[in-house]
């Protein structure tokens, strides 16, 4: 499959591509396999691994340990490297592998059916691109550097060997897994960015695409496949607003729970929802050392962090591919569309007069077909006798807005404003006749004044203070269900 057909840039760009197909070349009618054609002398460790994988692994396993091996070369060798082996359809022109040349066959680099790669940019500006290709009749690998690497840069590249291999192995797994925490945790003191893209060939017609970027100020991820697509962006430019590791972990659990509730309520595709949760977790893994920035005029106190989630700002969305499972009503779709975000603002001319605000938003729409009875079966066909079911449409949103303001060094304002709205429309059919169309809305809104809680008139002891701040922090998270908000 060409890069133009898939929409993924060639590996020569600052991105990489992975394609893993399920087909494998086999001898026809028991005939002996055609001879192998090597690009260059194959008496090195990487070439030996290429040969072993090609001869012994199924197509989806031909990159086994290869990604790691290419990066581990930088421990001792930073030169460019290129190798390929292909199964020839013709008799060899010489009697030895080493003398066979690629002019007999079309080039395999960057045009294989299966592709894997990585582009790493060092702080010096040097770019290193790794490319792995596989097709039914061959495997190719390549390493290219745009300049000379320092010893520290070589060590940082080699240090990503396991992370790169884990990412490849996850993409080749059935079902696919997202394992990017290692690549996201690159050595930011030496390297400036890491780019990974993948295209997993699930079958003859479906592919799973993934694009990932990480640098010191941001992370972005997009993946798509037959079940749907997701996008996640994380802003690392405000490290002062990050919480402790413990606070971040609690916030992530809370966020994933919110998504679980939406996925259950909207009957989301389980595998797609699982990939999304894995991706969110990976994107909020170790943020690393903050990027160097000018000294801030404003620093945050304990009560400031209490009204923040502790996570870096982000936006995330997941959209399930719409289907029309009812052949008699093709206008009724099964769908799931979820979006969420967090944004933080810290302002002020000085520590004495400053303000802080954080907004959390979530919204989702879904529609699905369900049996008319909880334990019933749904088998919609052209037969009108099968047309007994409920068609449900869900439309929810929620928000949480926390704000603090200081005047002359004293906390002057502390508010938490939250709202949630849900709408459930259920259309009921019995034997192909609509018998009901009912919409049930619910909503709630609440404003809390947290001034006395965060700035009590009587100074509490340390344990009381910690308990109070923990309680305030628990309040600020989104409550998607109106009934969860205080009366």
Q: What is the pLDDT of residues 354-376, one digit of tens each?
A: 999 999 999 999 999 999 998 89
Residue scoring higher pLDDT (41 or 229): 229
- Mention every residue, 6+ apart, whose C-beta is less than 8 A from residue 151: none
Structure confidence at residue 208 as a pLDDT band (50, 70, 90) = confident
The pLDDT of residue 5: 37
CB 390 within 8 A of CB 376: no
The pLDDT of residue 457: 84
The pLDDT of residue 31: 59
Q: How far is CA 212 from the centre of its chain?
A: 7
CB 310 within 8 A of CB 247: yes
The pLDDT of residue 402: 97
Residue scoring higher pLDDT (452 or 110): 452
CB 82 within 8 A of CB 142: yes
Q: How far is CA 58 from the centre of its chain?
A: 27
Q: pTM for the complete prediction?
A: 0.87
What length does the chain have?
Answer: 487
Structure confidence at residue 22 as a pLDDT band (50, 70, 90) = very low
Q: Give, in order, the Cα–Cα distances in Å from 320 to each of 269, 282, 330, 366, 423.
A: 7, 21, 17, 9, 20
Structure confidence at residue 184 as a pLDDT band (50, 70, 90) = very high
249-269 pLDDT per residue, tens = 999 999 999 999 999 999 999
b/e per residue, 269-282, with b = 16+ CB within 10 A? Answer: beebbebbbbbbbb
* Lowest pLDDT segment from 20-24, 126-130, 376-380, 429-433: 20-24
| Cα separation, 215 vs 291, whole angstroms | 9
Percentage of the chain lying above the pLDDT 90 cut: 66
Structure confidence at residue 20 as a pLDDT band (50, 70, 90) = very low
8 has a pLDDT exceeding 50: no
Structure confidence at residue 485 as a pLDDT band (50, 70, 90) = confident
Examine residue 175 and say whether the peptide bond preceding it is cis (omega within 30 degrees of 0).
yes
- To which H or E segment does residue 400 belong? strand 389-407
Percentage of the chain lying above the pLDDT 70 cut: 87
247 has a pLDDT exceeding 80: yes
**Residue among 454, 456, 267, 293 nearest 364 (CA):** 267
Structure confidence at residue 295 as a pLDDT band (50, 70, 90) = low
Structure confidence at residue 175 as a pLDDT band (50, 70, 90) = confident
**Residue among 57, 27, 272 nearest 172 (CA):** 57
Residue scoring higher pLDDT (95 or 486): 486
75 has a pLDDT exceeding 90: yes
The pLDDT of residue 102: 41
- Mention every residue, 6+ apart, whose C-beta is less than 8 A from residue 444: 419, 420, 482, 483, 485
* Lowest pLDDT segment from 59-63, 128-132, 316-320, 332-336: 59-63
The pLDDT of residue 81: 94
Structure confidence at residue 104 as a pLDDT band (50, 70, 90) = low
Mean pLDDT throughout 307-321?
97
436 has a pLDDT exceeding 60: yes
Q: Taking the CB of residue 174, how many other CB atoms lie within 10 A of it?
A: 10
DSSP for 95-138 reads SSTTT--GGGS---TTTSSEEEEEEEEETTS-EEEEEEEEETTE
Q: How far is CA 389 from the centre of its chain?
A: 35
Residue scoring higher pLDDT (27 or 349): 349
Structure confidence at residue 94 as a pLDDT band (50, 70, 90) = very low
282 has a pLDDT exceeding 60: yes
The pLDDT of residue 112: 63
209-228 pLDDT per residue, tens = 889 999 999 999 999 999 99
The pLDDT of residue 167: 93
The pLDDT of residue 100: 45
Structure confidence at residue 14 as a pLDDT band (50, 70, 90) = very low
11 has a pLDDT exceeding 80: no
Residue scoring higher pLDDT (303 or 1): 303
Structure confidence at residue 55 as a pLDDT band (50, 70, 90) = confident
- Maximum average pLDDT range among 173-182, 315-324, 477-486: 315-324
Residue scoring higher pLDDT (36 or 352): 352
Q: What is the mean pLDDT of the chain?
A: 87
430 has a pLDDT exceeding 60: yes
**Residue among 421, 401, 400, 433 nearest 329 (CA):** 433
The pLDDT of residue 12: 36
End-to-end CA distance of the chain: 58
Domain boundaries, the chain: 1-189, 216-487
């Amino acid at each position: 499959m060409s890069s133009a057909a898939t929409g993924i840039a060639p590996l020569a760009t600052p991105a990489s591509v992975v394609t893993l197909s399920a087909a494998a070349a086999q001898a026809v009618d028991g005939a002996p396999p055609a001879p192998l054609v090597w690009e260059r002398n194959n008496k090195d460790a990487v070439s030996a691994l290429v040969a072993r994988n090609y001869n012994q692994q199924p197509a989806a396993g031909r990159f086994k340990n290869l990604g790691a091996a290419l990066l581990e070369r930088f421990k001792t060798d930073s030169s460019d490297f290129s190798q390929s082996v292909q199964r020839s359809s013709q008799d060899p022109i010489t009697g030895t592998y080493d003398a066979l040349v690629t002019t007999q066959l079309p080039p395999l680099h960057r045009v294989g059916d299966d592709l894997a790669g990585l582009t790493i940019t060092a702080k010096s500006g040097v770019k290193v691109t790794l490319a792995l290709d596989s097709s039914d009749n061959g495997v190719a690998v390549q390493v290219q550097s745009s300049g000379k690497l320092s010893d520290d840069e070589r060590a940082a590249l080699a240090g990503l060997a396991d992370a790169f291999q884990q990412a490849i192995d996850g993409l080749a797994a059935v079902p696919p897994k997202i394992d990017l925490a290692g690549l996201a945790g690159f050595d930011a003191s030496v390297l400036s960015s890491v780019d990974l893209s993948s295209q997993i060939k699930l079958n003859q017609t479906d592919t799973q695409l993934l694009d990932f970027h990480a640098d010191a100020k941001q992370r972005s991820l997009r993946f798509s496949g037959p079940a749907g697509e997701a996008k996640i962006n994380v802003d690392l430019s405000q490290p002062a607003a990050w919480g402790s590791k413990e606070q971040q972990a609690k916030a992530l659990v809370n966020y994933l729970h919110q998504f679980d509730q939406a996925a259950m309520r909207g009957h989301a595709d389980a595998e797609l929802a699982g990939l999304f949760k894995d991706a969110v977790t990976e994107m909020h893994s170790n943020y690393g050392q903050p990027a160097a920035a000018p000294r801030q005029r404003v620093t945050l106190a304990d009560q400031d962090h209490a009204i923040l989630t502790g996570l870096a700002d982000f936006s995330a969305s997941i959209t399930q591919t719409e289907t029309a499972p009812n052949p008699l009503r093709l206008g009724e779709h099964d769908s799931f569309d979820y979006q969420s975000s967090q944004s933080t603002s810290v302002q002020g001319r000085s520590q004495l007069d400053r303000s802080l605000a954080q907004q959390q938003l979530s919204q989702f729409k879904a529609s699905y077909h369900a049996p008319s009875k909880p334990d019933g079966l749904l088998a919609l066909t052209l037969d009108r006798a099968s047309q007994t079911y409920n068609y449900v449409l869900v439309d929810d949103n929620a928000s949480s807005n926390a704000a603090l303001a200081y005047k002359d060094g004293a906390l002057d304002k502390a508010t938490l404003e939250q709202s949630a709205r849900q709408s459930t429309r259920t259309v009921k059919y019995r034997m192909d006749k609509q018998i009901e169309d009912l919409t049930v809305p619910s909503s709630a809104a609440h404003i809390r004044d947290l001034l006395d809680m965060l700035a009590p008139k009587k100074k509490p002891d340390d344990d009381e203070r910690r308990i109070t701040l923990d309680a305030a922090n628990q309040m600020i998270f989104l409550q998607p269900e109106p009934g969860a908000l205080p009366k």
